[in-house]
Amino acid sequence: MNIFLDANVLVSVLNKEYPVFTYSSRVLSLMDNKRFEVCTSPVCLAIAFYFSEKKSGNALARRKMEVLCDKINITATDKTAVSKALKNKRIQDLEDGIEYYSALQAKCKYIITEDRNDFYFSEIEVLTSKDFLEKYLR
């Protein structure tokens, strides 16, 4: 099962932001479960690094990102994804649109985010970390 993690899920793990960390860290740990293909985009990684660096400094943020990038699947953010996001009149936030089309191209079945409203236009199921765990990992 392919799942796409939004930047805010990554940030909550990298910066140990409670109470979300309790759930987001469990979702991220699915990278070690063969039933799941955990994905994110280069855009999400850049955002996560930015916020991790602000909290932890450059050296520690880089080490955290290296560990993350060794395990997570990184989707393509190519001209097609950007073009589709720009052409979709329903999408107001280009970053969310690019993430959405990147997830679609990677055949993700779910988008996991802590702000479901960001993906109001999604035809993929959008869940918070907590909701995903409750619904699919009982």
Cα separation, 38 vs 28, in Å, equals 7
More confident site: 80 or 138: 80
Note the pLDDT of residue 16. Answer: 97
Bridge partners (DSSP) of residue 110 are 3, 125
Average predicted confidence (pLDDT) for the chain: 97
Can you tell me the mean pLDDT for 47-71? 97
Q: What are phi and psi of 14, to 5 degrees?
A: -60, -35
Q: Which residue has the tokens 């799941």?
A: 36
| pTM (predicted TM-score) | 0.95
71 within 8 A of 31, measured Cβ to Cβ? yes
CA dihedral 94, 87, 3, 116 (to 10 degrees): 50
4 within 8 A of 45, measured Cβ to Cβ? no
62 within 8 A of 1, measured Cβ to Cβ? no
Cα separation, 99 vs 89, in Å, equals 16
**Domains of the chain (ranges plus CATH)?**
2-136 (3.40.50.1010)
119 within 8 A of 111, measured Cβ to Cβ? yes
Note the pLDDT of residue 137. Answer: 84
